[in-house]
């Protein structure tokens, strides 16, 4: 049983839709992350929240909008996506102490049609 | 910027045999952390092993061990007595020391490990 839970597991959306991905961690961590995993590419770090403050966004397009209301919850709001945004979106959490590994959720498989 | 390279897109090994997955990385930092993650078909990324760069001793976790060569910037994973449950994608990952975790992980492209019964 994972300490990081993502919902939904699968999502199909049209390019004009608005949807949100949700992540919840039960590990008492104080940093949360969104990663994008596309076929044949390394995992790409999208957003980092450390102590509920956004640290970096790595030049992610504005059609992706993160929200971190508290240290246990992280959202990724999606708006007017493109087909190339179809991917597995992984949430992770960790403790902001050097060397502590990240714990991942099972991901949301997103398909943009 | 740091980069992580896994040169083996796919590896195959007989059950009970030993297999080594390769990873090299590029960094200008002297202190950092390296990880191997496993991603089975369930898509759950699971930590296999981690290595602190300041430690000379190679990390081991049961059947999993690493060969960390800091000067060569190499970090290979050895899986002994391979089991069917080891079949998965394996990702090598890097984290810098100074960010305290706020800089996330840099991943390689992964190696698909197949276990032949």
Instruction: Give me the DSSP letters along A73-91.
Output: EEEEEEES--GGG-EEEEE
Q: Does B107 touch chain A (CB under 8 A)?
A: yes
Contact yes or no for B42 and A106 at CB 8 A: yes
CA distance linking residue A10 with residue B25, whole number of Å = 33
Q: Is the dihedral of CA B78, B98, A60, A35 positive or negative?
A: positive
Pairs of CB atoms within 8 A across A/B: 70
- Residue pLDDT, tens place only, A31-83: 999 999 998 788 999 999 987 788 877 689 999 999 999 999 999 999 999 99
pLDDT at B42: 86
Q: What is the DSSP letter of B87?
A: -
Q: Do A42 and B110 touch (CB under 8 A)?
A: yes
The answer to whether B94 and B25 have CB atoms below 8 angstroms apart is yes
For residue B108, give the nearest of A33, A42, A105 by CB distance: A42
Give contacts of B47 with chain A, Cβ < 8 Å. Answer: 101, 103
Instruction: Render each residue's pLDDT in chain B as its tens digit; 117 residues.
Output: 789 999 999 999 999 999 999 999 999 988 899 999 999 998 889 999 999 999 989 999 999 999 999 999 999 999 999 999 999 999 999 998 776 666 789 999 999 999 999
Closest Cα in chain B to A56: B103
Residue A45 Cα distances to A48, A72, A90, B69, B83, angstroms: 8, 19, 9, 26, 31
pLDDT of residue A41: 83
Q: Tell me the residue ranges of DSSP E strands in B46-99.
A: 46-52, 60-61, 64-69, 74-79, 88-96
Residue with tokens 């202190």: B31
> Half-sphere exposure (CA, 13 Å, Cβ side) for B23?
28
Decide the pairing of beta strands B88-96 and B106-107: antiparallel
Of A100, A104, A106, the CB nearest to B101: A100
Q: Which of A41, A97, A98 sits opposite B109 (nearest CB)?
A: A41
User: Chain B contacts of A28, Cβ < 8 Å?
Assistant: none
A20 pLDDT tier (thresholds 50, 70, 90): very high
Name the residue of chain B whose CA is nearest to A49's CA. B102
Mutate to test the interface with B, among A99, A103, A106 (most CBs of B within 10 A): A99
Averaged over A106-111, what is the pLDDT?
A: 96
Tell me if chain B has a CB within 8 Å of the CB of A57.
no
pLDDT value, residue A53: 83
Compute the distance between CA of residue B96 and CA of residue B63 in angstroms, rounded to an integer. Answer: 27
Question: Is residue B73 within a helix (H) or strand (E), and if so which, with residue range?
Answer: none
**Whether residue A1 has pLDDT greater than 60:** no
Reading the block at residue A85, the tokens are: 């945004």
- Residue A98's pLDDT band, with cuts at 50, 70 and 90, is low
User: Hey, is the C-beta of B29 within 8 angstroms of any chain A C-beta?
Assistant: no
Is residue A16 over pLDDT 80?
yes
| Rg of the Cα atoms in chain A | 13
End-to-end CA distance of chain B: 41
């Amino acid at each position: 049983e994972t300490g990081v839970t993502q919902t939904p597991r699968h999502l199909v959306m049209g390019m004009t839709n608005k949807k949100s991905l949700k992540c919840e961690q039960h590990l008492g961590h104080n940093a949360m992350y969104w990663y994008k995993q596309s076929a044949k590419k390394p995992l790409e770090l999208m957003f980092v929240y450390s102590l509920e403050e956004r640290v970096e966004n790595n030049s992610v397009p504005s059609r992706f909008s993160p929200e971190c209301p508290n240290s246990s919850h992280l959202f990724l709001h999606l708006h007017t996506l493109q087909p190339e945004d179809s991917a597995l979106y992984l949430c992770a959490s960790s403790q902001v102490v050097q060397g502590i590994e990240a714990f991942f959720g099972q991901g949301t498989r997103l398909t943009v049609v | 910027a740091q980069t992580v390279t896994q040169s083996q897109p796919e590896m195959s090994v007989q059950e009970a045999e030993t297999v080594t997955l390769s990873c090299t990385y590029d960094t200008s930092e002297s202190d950092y952390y390296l990880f191997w993650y496993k991603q089975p078909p369930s898509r759950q990324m699971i930590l296999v092993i981690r290595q602190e760069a300041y430690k000379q001793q190679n990390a081991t976790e049961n059947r999993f061990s690493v060969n960390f060569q800091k000067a060569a910037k190499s970090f290979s994973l050895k899986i002994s007595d391979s089991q069917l449950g080891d079949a998965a994608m394996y990702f090598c990952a890097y984290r810098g020391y100074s960010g305290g975790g706020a800089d996330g992980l840099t991943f390689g492209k992964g190696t698909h490990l197949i276990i032949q019964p």
